[in-house]
Amino acid sequence: MKVSVVIPAYNEEDFIGNCLNSLKKQSEPPDEIIVVNNNSTDKTNSIAASYNVRIIHKNKPGMIPARNAGYDEAKYDIIARTDADSILPPDWVKKIKLDFEQADIDGLSGPIVFYDLPMKTTLWANLFLDFMRFAQKGGNTLIGPNMAFTKKVWKKIRTSVCMDGSAVHEDVDIGMHILTAQGKINIDKTLIVQASGRRIINHPGSFFIEYPLRLIRSMKNHPL
């Protein structure tokens, strides 16, 4: 079982090096690393190129067009996704492979901890995961910086995923489409990724108001 890692990136010169360093230090290296350069005007592209990874350029702005371009180009059985400002534990790829080998699943996710906020805990992520499992009647969700799914299920849902990033949580939306397609998502609470809380710091209104509204819209659009 082989793993492609997809990293959408827009002006991430301050962060992407740490992310790629953590991927290069994996106990079981990914079989492919794809950085999707989404119109960056800083040094994101040159930094990524210095790590000898595959770089795809997507001119249409936005997370959804960028991540879709990466998912479409991924070569291998499992597509793992993280954010350019995340730091992966050294056993991240190994655990992803084991989870897919040990269970008949279509998707996988785990908690995150914000490394640049005072409270470094998985509590909030675990509460969110538990809430979504309850709200989705036992179906699990996906968290963007720490998620994976099969190439097979991506091909199955590719034409039905929502394209308006202002209307949905793009990661939650993929999870909902997997569940709607009768797929199964597992949560591994030992699969923990360090993510940046800079959006909470820099744009609290977006995080605490816009994000919940998008979650509500996502759930209304895809009742399970």
CATH of the domain at 158: 3.90.550.10
In angstroms, rounded to a whole number, what is the distance separating the alpha carbons of residues 186 and 7? Answer: 21
Provide the residue range defining the domain that includes 7.
3-221
Tally of domains within the chain: 1
Provide the whole-model pTM.
0.95
Dihedral angle of Cα 158, 102, 191, 185, to the nearest 10 degrees? 40
Could you report the per-residue pLDDT of 124-166, keeping only the tens digit for each?
Answer: 999 999 999 999 999 999 999 999 999 999 999 999 999 988 8
In angstroms, rounded to a whole number, what is the distance separating the alpha carbons of residues 29 and 152? Answer: 22
Could you report the per-residue pLDDT of 22-69, keeping only the tens digit for each?
Answer: 999 999 999 999 999 999 999 999 999 999 999 999 999 999 999 999
What residues contact residue 46 under an 8 Å CB cut-off, 6+ apart?
A: none
